[in-house]
Structure 1
Amino acid sequence: MRSWALASSAVAPVALIGGWTLAARRQPGGFDSTVETISALAGHHAADRWLMTTALVCVGICHVLTALGLSPAAGPGRVALGAGGVATLLVAAFPLPVAGPAPAHAVSAGLAFAALSVWPALAWRRHLPVPATLRATVSCLAAVVLLALVAWFATSLGTGVRVGLAERVAAGAQAFWPLVVTVSLFVQGRPGSIRSWIASR
């Protein structure tokens, strides 16, 4: 694993959560994060929409960098993670309009949620000495949990109940899982000292 993949995977959840927290505070008059979506903070109608847009761009770039540096993971998983990052960039590129439908935004968000949910199930390794986070059972369980959270969000969109909360839980979990994987690889890569870890790189 490339050492910078650890940094990029750590920045992603910080940028996402920090972005939606700061952007929500900049909205006038009682913005409710449990009801309003993350996309609403980057939409054309939002105050200081550049805050959430910048956060989404940062998250997308981080996912792409993590995918490039996560060499112990299987190729299909890395491709899916990178695709999720690119789709996140497209979410930022196609913000919600002031009014009317937003098909490009909806498709981009759907692709991002799908790719960032399934990548763990495609990333596990059978033969290499990898930590539990890259073994079949844990990887597939992670994907199931992430998909379940996205399903909760999709159901909330239909009912209108706590849509913002469901989206933030799902998106936050998706942002954290690459960090969990890279940290586990980092720990496995230092059997006794920092020097041995650096030498293995």
Structure 2
Amino acid sequence: MDVRGRGARQGRLVAAVAAPLLLMAGTLLAEALQPPGFDPLDATLSDMASLDAAHREVMTGVIIGMGAWFAVTGWWLAVVGKAGRIMLGAGGAACLGIIAYPVSEDAVPLQHFVFATLAFSALSLWPVAGMRRSVDAPWPVRPAAAITVSAVLCVLSAWFTVTVTREAGMGLPEHILAVIQVTWPSVVAFASRDRPRAAAAPSPGRREYAEQAR
């Protein structure tokens, strides 16, 4: 591998470590900056980026970073099937849509609800959509791991939906869901870090020429 390719790979691995840290550290900071009486177990990430939140720029920046991470990994995680990569990128774009239409204490814009639904759906289903059955595929991309992760994410999404309808306890399922959604692309990136590029198959013409040369 040349220096340029090695540098790109190392940069991706650094990003794979930084993305989960950004989410967790940024969330803790945003929670700490909220006024007394704030309960993170009863608040969503969107609440901390709402128009009424204290220092909303912190969580706004975190969600933008998450969206960028999903979009970038959807582009360069070549070991993932095409459908999964598209869904991962779409989930990242939906995160940016969430920020474009923030909630307030008085209202939740319809656009925010739509983008949040798209984000949670795409980011929960991309592992199973992008799984590969090849024995050479990294273990996180194979059916057993991919189906399991998507199932767990769907269960967490359902739990989160129930808490939203009850308007209580939304923070815990969303925090767990967000951490897994941000971390799983990192797991795939590290599992595939040493995979060499597949050599291109020779064209029929070149194969015939090689046989004649013998």
TM-score range, shorter chain: 0.7 to 0.9
Contact preservation (8 Å) 1:60, 1:87: yes
The residue matched to 1:154 in structure 2 has which SS?
A: helix
Shift of 1:11: 2.5
Q: Which residue of 2 aligns with 1:103?
A: 110
Q: Give me the TM-score of the superposition, normalised by structure 2.
A: 0.83
What is the match of residue 174 of structure 2? 167
**Paired amino acid for 2:104:** P
1:124 has 2:131 as partner: yes
Whether 1:183 and 2:190 are equivalent positions in the alignment is yes
Offset from partner CA, 1:89-109 (integer Å, 9 cap, x none): 111111112412321111111
Deviation for aligned residue 1:128: 6.2
Partner of 2:47: 40
- For the aligned residue pairs, the C-alpha RMSD in angstroms reads 2.0
The letter for the 2-side match of 1:82 is G
The aligned residue for residue 141 of structure 2 is 134
What letter corresponds to residue 6 of structure 1 in structure 2? L
CA distance in 2, matches of 1:53, 1:7: 22
Task: Kindly provide the CA deviation profile for residues 54-80 of structure 1, in whole angstroms up to 9, marking residues without a partner as x.
Answer: 111111111111111101111000000
The amino acid across from 2:106 in the alignment is: A
What CA distance in whole angstroms lies between the structure 2 residues aligned with 1:119 and 1:9? 17
8 Å CA contact retained: 1:5, 1:65: no
Output the amino acid matched with 1:157: V
Q: How does 1:7-22 map to 2 (within 5 A)?
A: 7-22=14-29
TM superposition score normalised by structure 1: 0.88
For structure 1, the 5+ residue unaligned runs are 190-196
Which sits farther off after the overlay, 48-57 or 12-21? 12-21
Alignment of 1:54-65 (within 5 A): 54-65=61-72
Residues in 1 aligned to 2:139 and 2:55: alpha-carbon distance in whole angstroms: 42
Deviation of 1:126 (Å): 2.2
Counterpart residue type for residue 21 of structure 2: V
Q: Map 1:64-103 onto structure 2 (within 5 A).
A: 64-103=71-110
What is aligned with 1:192? none
Residue 25 of structure 2 corresponds to residue 29 of structure 1: no
Q: Which amino acid counterpart does residue 48 of structure 2 have in structure 1?
A: L
1:111: Cα distance to partner? Answer: 0.7
Unaligned runs of 5+ in 2: 200-214
Inter-CA distance 65–8: structure 2 relative to 1 (3 Å threshold): farther
Matched, 1:51 2:51: no
In 2, Cα distance between the equivalents of 1:76 and 1:8? Answer: 23
Change in Cα spacing, 1:93 to 1:128, as seen in structure 2 (3 Å) is: farther
Q: Report runs of 4+ in structure 1 exceeding 6 Å deviation.
A: none
Preserved contact between residue 8 and residue 63 of structure 1 (Cα < 8 Å): no
1:6 and 1:155 mapped to 2: Cα distance?
A: 36
